[in-house]
Every structure is written in structure tokens, then in C-alpha cells.
Structure 1
């Protein structure tokens, strides 16, 4: 019987794994020995600035190194970075730092094995098919945007001479695109092909037209043959790390591919999953989209990362970190505060522990992970290990599929952002946008309420104004976009950009 090694091949300095093929073999042969790894979700405080993380990747790497030092078979699953942000230097890399680094950070930060580029090429080819369909009279509008890994505000709105008059089009960053979401959610090549076929290319006389009606889909899936395979790399300490899937948890899913996490669970006892930005972004989408709607594993534990400066120094924003920790605890997920120290901050730990005790937190895990790596955490993991060795695993609760989209958005606002339904307001034009989305779904023979709701929001705020008093905080709904292939409906709220320009430093 074939093993994981038979589905693994060398790809430059890392390895690529045919996770689709491997998991299909396990499905066809249930007697094959496999593990059922428990999930630890690593998320974070909402960052003070969109271009600055709190150290989730550094923590994830240090955590698996520390767990393995304690004799536990642990691995991590990370998201791929966006080269457009990473290369500009505004956010650092996406491969940890110092002693909590991957063995080949230059590969991760600069495109890994070309997965992002392949997804970019595939979606842009779809747009080219749509433009050709306009020439042939099969479409009169193009709805799917072109994508790029390099941010350019000048390309947010463009007009193409399609031979039969000007056609308005859009461009977004690759991680935000529908094809990236399809790769994240698909568990087989057949599912991926079906989802691509169900993408809305555009309209003809106001009726939606799908890509499966315009082209042979093998043209797209062939481009993605290697892009759908998770990459296997390792930490500088030798711990296994799988890298696969999309960043940008504020304007997309921002979680690793479901197939990479499922595969890792079959191979390891503990799988540490990194979710993008803060608990209001990537963690919200892992729990409420991946788990509730797509049957991904519910975490056995969570780690919420913060810097001392983010948690403590801006008095008007101090409510956010306790909100995140308490929200996850209320979901039945044992949640451990993680304080990611910078150089010179070691003497802050006693005071931060006292503050955590006053707030009723579990005892924080703290360390300068850049300087000390997993060694900083190994002796502090007793409580986390106890949770992971317990038999009880919390359950995700009910799906929101079939619930009115607005009710789901209000539920997210209350539970993920702390804003009750009566303070969720609609900007002028939102109602029309929602009606148009319902009409599009209906024309496809679907109910908009059956789509998973994906909030599109600012990465650095949870509400319209996080510094406002609690009773004054609001959420403003702006527009709605249907992504029929991915099976999600985007609802824009607060502020967000799908073609951001990072500060180059």
C-alpha cells in the first residue's frame, strides 16, 4: 500500500505533496493506519496597523518546535504570503524570524513554488475567455476581475476595448480572488473543476453566464496541477511545516487550504493552524466558514498572540485583546494568551501576567521568540498539553446556511466584533447591492442565503471606530458580491481595499 512518500516529490529546495491523491487513497482504504491530529488555532490581537502583524507565524513556528521538544508529534500549516505586500517590505516576511524561522524563508516570502503565480495566470486566462466571449456575442459584460500580485491602485477600475465597445473591468490582488478561494476550499481536483465551472463570467442581456458554458475547464485545471499541492518545508529546528493557501483574512478567507490541514491531521498528533490577521478576521473565518460551513476541524485549543504595545499602550483600544480571548473561550475553545516580546521587554512580563489574572485569563505564555525560539515556550506548555491530551473536543455548533444573509452578518457583528444588531447600519446603496446579489443568485437557481458569508473589512479595526465608547461603536454595511464558484457571498463593511498599496520601507 502506498504511503505519503509515494505522493511526495522534490520541488527545488522544498517538497510538494499530492494531498488530493493521498487523501483519496485513505478514503478508498479506511484500514490504512493514520492519525487524527488535534487542531491548535493560532490567531492574534487586531494589529494597530494593517501593515504590521503581531507575530502569528513566529509563534506558530516556536510552538511546534517547543511541542516537539516535549515529545509531541506536532506540525504547522501556514498560509502563503502575498509577494506584493512582503516584497514591498512593509510587513516583513511570512516565514517567522530569528530562531523561529523556516529553513528557506526566501522561498516562502518570494513566491514559494509559484502557486500564487499559477492562480494569477489561471484567473487571468478566465478573464481572457470572457473577453473573447464578448467578441462572439456570448457575453456583454465581464464580472470576474483580473488579478495581480503587484498592487496598483491605477488598475482598480479599467476599461477594455473588446472590439464591440468599451467593457468595464476590475483588477484585484491575487490572494483576494475567487480562484484562490476555490483552491482553499476544494478537496479534490473534481471539486475544483466544478467550482471553476460555476464561476460567473459575466452577463448576457442581464442573465448570468458561467465559465463552464464558455470553455473547456481542463485549460484552467492544467495550470493549477502543481499549485494545488501543499509545499512541505521545515523550521530551522527541523519541525515539519506545510505551506498552502491564501492570505488576506480581512478581504478574503485568509486561511490555509482545507486539504493541507486535513492531510496534516492524518500524519501528526497536533496540527497548529495559522489564521490571518486578528481573531476578528482569520479566526472568525476559520470557525464560521471553514468549520461551520465546510466541515473543517474545530480547534481543541487556541493561542491568541499580542505584542505588549498592542494590548496595553493605546488605552482606547485595550478592550480588543480581552474581547478576542473571551470570545474564543465562550465558544468552548481553551484559549491561551501569548505575549510576543521584543528586545528589552522581558521585564514587562510580571505586570502583564498580573493584568491577565485580573481579566480572568489563563496564565499567559510569553517569550522573545525571535531571540529564543521554541526554547522560550517549552517549559510553559503544561496547560496546553493537558488540554490536547484530554478526550473532550468542543463542537462547532450550527451552520448559518439557509439563514438570511443580513441576520448572519448581524450575528458576526455581535459575536466577532462586539456590535449588537441595532448598531449595524446600512450605507446608501447597500440595499440595492443586496437585492442585485439576491437576483443574481436566483438567476443561477440558487438561494443567496445558502452561501457562506465572508466579511470584507479593514484589517486594523473591528468596527467603524474602535476608539469610540462601547455603546457608540457601529458597523456599516457597504456592498455585496456573489462568488458562485467559491460558494461565498462577500459583504463589505467598515473600510477595506482589495488592491491595497503597502507602505514601502
Structure 2
């Protein structure tokens, strides 16, 4: 009998299995007045609920990251969710903090962000689709700002904005390659000024990053006011505050700033909020969600998007200083299938034992272990077991981890839920009690070039950084405008430690190619675009949407 799909598992007796959201709130000490329900099974945590929770002490923080993703699958979100369930099963008061899914990957090829098998957050259909409307609010706010910029120029352009130097882009929360480069304002003078425009996916917008890094509405408003939107004809910067619309944009996001409360299949409380991609943004759920989770539970499980070279590094270097709480332990998720793929075994052959490919592919995991150890926090490896993994392969990978002195645990969370992650949970409890001495990879006082070079060499393994002529000019602009003291958020392929997705394993002696640098002053970092990373992805030849349907009762099928 075939193992049921994720949506089939989620829908099995879902209304009997899920607890009313008020019961979930009670588990973490919140009353009905502290939440704003969206139906029976999801809610936003109100302002009073946030204020109440913030009086508590912080619990332990566990960051879940992984090796570089492959077509073979890694299951990072599944392990994060299952680990939270396993800790709860051991009697630990645990809260999960995750990102919200984007419609782009949901309708495309990557899938949603609600876990898999018997380790899922629910209601999975709602979370993967419209949820509580946060993505729609962000998209509206992004495009409202764009409309206000174009209207300002149409109405006389008192700020002297150069239409060729507008940085702010419109957005859509779906993969739509046709909108990457387009022209707007055609037709007649009443349709505004014709100019080139570029759309990006909502999760790549600076406004998403700002939402995830804001502490409260005042902080959100100040960050929005600081967004660099354009340059004048004489190349002077123009900010949102110059348009005097930061209040209006903040107003559109006042509810989206409130974190969302849901639950896992095993009724572990889960706060799901914010969703920047890690390959083109900073890849972590909101600071507010993570702080709340730490205040409401003794253990908080959160994750960084994609591999430790992306979401892991960005959590450590961008998020942690703002969170004022470093992870007490880091879990790196790996699968034997993915490591064999990194070691050269063909995708079609991954079910066959290949100890040589596994040994070669281990270099990728070893690099990520080294990367997380740079930050002086305890590291654990979780081997996410597949049915095709052989005893020889498991024994080999365990011994390779032992050789580098890292704790390693086998998990079977996808098929067994919390029961498949008990050993990992016990290891996490032990690791989180160890003394750690978090240190950042670089300091803000270093130049942008020094920060990029440090990440390129220490995290990626590059021996050189090459800048395009455009990037060199932008580096000078950063220095001239005194924007050189910000962290860097490197946009890079998720499939490789390098900027070339075809370089698997742990490549060495390569050059990182920097194409351009974009100051995100509201978010408080510099985005460094490398390789061929695009901020508006495209849909595949056979989108996942082809398999989706809904019947007359409203029951969804084919979502995953």
C-alpha cells in the first residue's frame, strides 16, 4: 500500500484531530483576549498578547538548517516540525516558529512550507494558500508604494526623480517570468510617464524583509520611511519619507505585523509569520515570531531557508544581532540520498547503495558543519532516513560524522511523527544545555568588500571575489553615501556553495561573481546579487497547479 500524500494525511479526521485555536493558545499561557481568531484553527496574536508574552524570560532557541538542497530531497521543515513534536512528547513546553509559504513555489515545483508526512503544521491547505492574508497585504503595500511613486512623477515630480533610476519594484506573489522586465505608462500622457519596470516576487521585496525585522508598528514605520526608492537626476537618493507616505504603507501592514498562531498534527503550538526566500532575501521568519516563541515556550524550534550557507549564515549574521539571543544549538539536516547526489551519483540511481558517492558527497555536509561551528554554538547532524538507505550507508555516514566530532542522530519523522525524532530531541536538549560563546562572522565596521570576502571564503570556500563594473560603481556609491556599515545579504543559488548551481559537493578555489549591490536601508542590509539568481522566478514546464483541484464541498486535492 502506497504511503499517503501530505494532504491526505493532513485531512485524515482533521477536525477531530485539530484542537480549537483557543486551546492551543492556552497551552502557551495566552487567553482568548490575547488572540484574534480566523475561524476555529488559526489566529493572530494580538497586541495585548504580544505585550503580555514579552514579560516572560527567554527559553532555549534551536536553529534547524541543512546541506544544500537537491532534487533528492532533504526534509528540513519536516525535521523542524517533527523535532518540536518530539520535544513536546518528552514533556518539554515547545513552540515552533516558521516562515509562511509563498504561492510561487506552491503553484510551481518546490512545494509549500508546511512539512510532510506525519510532521506537518495545520490546517495545511489554509497555510499554503491565503492563510490570514499577510502575503496579500504585503503585495498591496508594495504596489501601493509603486503607484505613489509614479503618481508623484506624473503630478509634477517635485522631488526630481529620474525615472531611469527608480529602485522600487512592483511585486506579485506568484512566479511570473513575463513580468521580470516590462514597460508601463504606454498609451497617452494621461497614463503617466512611460518607463521600464521590473516585477519581483513578493517574498523578495524589501518590504517582506522589513516586516520580518520590525519589532513593533513604530519600528515598522521608521523602517518603511528609510526605504531607498530612487535617485534624482543629479543622483541624490530619494526615500519613502520624502514622499510622506510611510504612514499609509504602515497602515496597510498593521494586521500583517501580528504573528499567526496554528498547530502541528500533534497539537504543538506553531507561530508562522513572514516568508522571505533565503536565496534572494534573508530567509528567516519574523523576529517578532521567534521572540514570541521563546517567551511562550521553554524550547523554540525555528529554521533558516535552504542550506546553512544561505539561511543559516543569514540567521547568524543578520537576525541574531537583532534578536539579542543566539541559538543554543544548531541542527543540520542531511539525507543519504542528497549526499550521494552531491557525490556524483545520478538521480535515477539514488536507491542503489553507493558508498563512494556518499563519501565524496559528505564533503558538502562537512563544510556546513564547519560553517556553523564558526559561530561557536553546539552543532548536531540529523540524518533524515529514507526507506532506501542501507545499513552500510547509515554506518558509513555515522562514522564520517564521528570523525569530525559532531553529534549525529537518525530520524524517521516523516513516517513516524514525534516517535521518529525522540533521539534527536534528547540530543538537542543535551546540546542546548552546553555553554556556547556566539560570535559573528564579521563586524558592521568592516567594509562591504571585507564582509563579502569573509563570507565567500569562510562559508562558501571561494578564493576570489570578482565585481562587475556596475558593482564597482555601486560599491563607491555605498561609501559615498555612508551606507558601508550594514550587514550583507548575499543572493546566491541554493544548489551549490558557489554561485554556480552545477558545482556540487564542496567546491574550492573558485571565484564568486558579484553582479550588483542594492542598498536595502529599511531592512538594514545590502543585498549582493551573484551569479544568475533572479528575484522573479518562473514556473516549470509542468507546474504543480496542474494536479490541484477542489470539489463542490470545498475539499482540496493534489496540493501535495
One fold, TM greater than 0.5?
Answer: yes
In the alignment, is the contact (CA less than 8 A) between 2:154 and 2:193 conserved in 1?
Answer: no
Q: 1:133: which partner in 2? A: 152
- Is residue 113 from structure 1 mapped to residue 154 from structure 2 by the alignment? no
- Residues in 2 aligned to 1:227 and 1:184: alpha-carbon distance in whole angstroms: 10
**Separation in 2, partners of 1:382, 1:265:** 19
Say if 2:227 and 2:522, in contact at 8 Å, map to a contact too. Answer: yes
Cα 1:471/1:276, change in 2 over 3 Å: closer
Correspondence for 1:352: 397
Q: Show the counterpart of 2:169.
A: 145
Using the TM superposition, give the Cα deviation of residue 53 of structure 1 relative to its aligned residue in structure 2, in angstroms: 5.2
1:340 and 1:19, CA in 2 relative to 1: closer, same or farther beyond 3 A?
farther
In structure 1, the residue matched to 2:520 is 483
Structure 2 distance, partners of 1:150, 1:236, is 27
Q: Counterpart in 2 of 1:72?
A: 92
Query: 2: distance between equivalents of 1:83 and 1:103?
Result: 17
**In the alignment, which of 247, 271, 292 is matched to residue 300 of structure 2?**
271
Matches within 5 A, 1:216-231: 216-231=245-260
What's the counterpart of residue 84 of structure 1? 104
| C-alpha deviation, 1:366, in angstroms | 1.5
Q: Which moved more, 1:353-362 or 1:447-456?
A: 353-362
1:248-327 mapped onto 2 (5 Å cutoff): 248-292=277-321, 294-315=322-343, 317-327=361-371
Q: Structure 2 CA distance, aligned partners of 1:301 and 1:156?
A: 39
Please list the CA deviations of residues 30-64 of structure 1 after superposition, one character each: whole Å capped at 9, or x if unmatched. xx5x2311110000100125xx7521110011101
For residues 131 and 513 of structure 2, the distance between their equivalents in structure 1, rounded to whole angstroms, comes to 37
CA offsets, 1:153-206, max 9 Å, x none? 221112222746422221100000010011010001001011111112323323
Corresponding residue for 1:214? 243
Match of 2:26 in 1: none
| Distance in 2 between residues matched to 1:403 and 1:330, nearest whole Å | 18
Local SS of the residue matching 1:128: helix
Per-residue deviation, 1:470: 4.8
Give the structure 2 partner of residue 493 of structure 1.
530
Describe how 1:379-398 pairs up with structure 2 within 5 A. 379-390=423-434, 392-397=435-440
Contact 2:342 2:504 in 1 (8 A): no
Match of 1:7 among 16, 28, 34: 34
Find the residue that maps to 1:232 and give its secondary structure: strand
* Kept after mapping to 1: 8 A contact 2:184/2:195: yes
1:454: which partner in 2? 489
What SS class does the counterpart of residue 122 from structure 2 fall into?
coil
Equivalent residue number for residue 47 of structure 1: 69
The 1:468/1:9 distance shift into structure 2, 3 A limit, reads: closer
Whether the aligned pair in 1 keeps the contact of 2:287 and 2:323 (CA below 8 Å) is no
Paired residues of 2:30 and 2:49 also in contact (CA < 8 A): yes
Deviation, structure 1 residue 111: 2.9
Against the structure 1 CA distance between its residues 483 and 19, is the aligned structure 2 distance closer, same or farther, given a 3 Å change threshold?
farther
In structure 1, how many angstroms separate the alpha carbons of the residues matched to 2:60 and 2:517? 35
Summarize deviations over 1:228-262 as a string: whole Å, max 9, x none. Answer: 11111111111111100123101001101001111
Structure 1 residues 423-434: aligned runs within 5 Å: 423-434=464-475
Q: Which residue of 2 aligns with 1:370?
A: 414
Which of 93, 104, 112 matches 1:93? 112
Deviation by residue 1:1-27 (Cα, 9 ceiling, x = unmatched) = xx7433312112443344655444566
SS in 2 for 1:140: strand
Mapping for residues 30-41 of structure 1, pairs under 5 Å: 32=55, 34-41=56-63
State how 1:10-25 maps to structure 2 within 5 Å. 10-18=37-45, 21-24=48-51
Q: What's the counterpart of residue 472 of structure 1?
A: 509
Contact in 2 for aligned 1:85/1:91 (Cα 8 Å): yes
Tell me the residue number matched to 1:156: 180
Q: 2:456 aligns with which of 406, 413, 426?
A: 413
SS in structure 1 at match of 2:490: strand
* CA deviation after TM superposition for structure 1 residue 393, in Å: 3.6
1:53/1:117 Cα in 2 relative to 1: closer, same or farther (>3 Å)?
farther
Q: Is the 8 A contact 1:405 1:448 kept in 2?
A: no
Distance 1:201 1:313 in 2: 42
Change over 3 Å in CA distance of 1:44–1:386 after alignment to 2: same
Q: What's the offset of the Cα at 1:226?
A: 1.6
Using the size of structure 2 for normalisation, the TM-score is 0.82
Assess, with a 3 A threshold, how the Cα gap between structure 1 residues 14 and 434 changes in structure 2: closer, same or farther.
farther
Segments of structure 1 that go 5 or more residues without pairing to the other structure are none
- Runs of 5+ consecutive residues of structure 2 not aligned to the other structure: 1-28, 345-360, 545-560
Is the 8 Å Cα contact of residues 403 and 450 (structure 1) preserved in structure 2? yes
Structure 1 residue 373 displacement after superposition: 1.1
* CA distance 1:149–1:434, shift in 2 (3 Å): same
- Measure how far apart 1:351 and its partner are: 3.1
In 1, the alpha carbon distance for the partners of 2:47 and 2:476 equals 38
Segment of structure 1 superposing worse, 134-143 or 64-73: 134-143
1:342-372 deviation line (CA, Å, top 9, x unaligned): 233364433322232234332x222232111
Answer yes or no: is the 8 Å Cα contact 1:264–1:271 preserved in 2. Answer: yes
